[in-house]
Amino acid sequence: ALPVCGCSGVFNLGLGGPAAFEGRTLGDRLVDAATNAGILVVAAAGNDGPAPSSVSTPGTAFSALTAGASSDPVHTRVFWDITFGPGQGHAMYPDGEFRPADFSGRGPLADGRARPDVTATGVFNLSLFPQNGTGVASGTSFSTPAVAARAAPLLGSSEANEPQSPPLLPRP
């Protein structure tokens, strides 16, 4: 049996690898088992896009909530302003649109399933680095915690308001 955390019932998996048998790898099957135990698993789509069927496992699991990366005006403009000077961020990103990141894994998967399920900011994120340093980095592993953090209270609210709800089930 899988250990069930006593917290919100949400796992964040910002990891991945090639998916030769989408939905059937050991990692994918572990995600489905966790889902059957009542845990929502948010998995990174991987950074091998933009080609179709470029989602990494365990984001290919049948029951994973797969998070891709998108760019947003705030992070992108700040990065370009710091790199090229004030005002350059707005010149290079003139609209307020969120855009899928070029590197973010995409579907459809080989079996026709659509992925990712959702995107969140994953481009030019301020991050901590070794030796007490900070820097900017990008990837779908930055998107998954944002999605998990938003899913946890929704899951808690759902459980509080519908105590007799059935367990989470894998999508067909």
At 5 the pLDDT is 39
At 7 the pLDDT is 40
Residues 6+ apart with CB under 8 A from 41: 10, 11, 13, 31, 34, 35, 58, 61, 63, 64, 65
Residue 50, preceding bond cis, omega within 30 degrees? yes
Among 12, 61, 8, residue whose Cα is nearest residue 38: 8
Phi and psi at residue 32, to the nearest 5°: -65, -35
At 161 the pLDDT is 60
- Report residues of the chain scoring pLDDT below 70: 1-8, 156-172
At 16 the pLDDT is 86
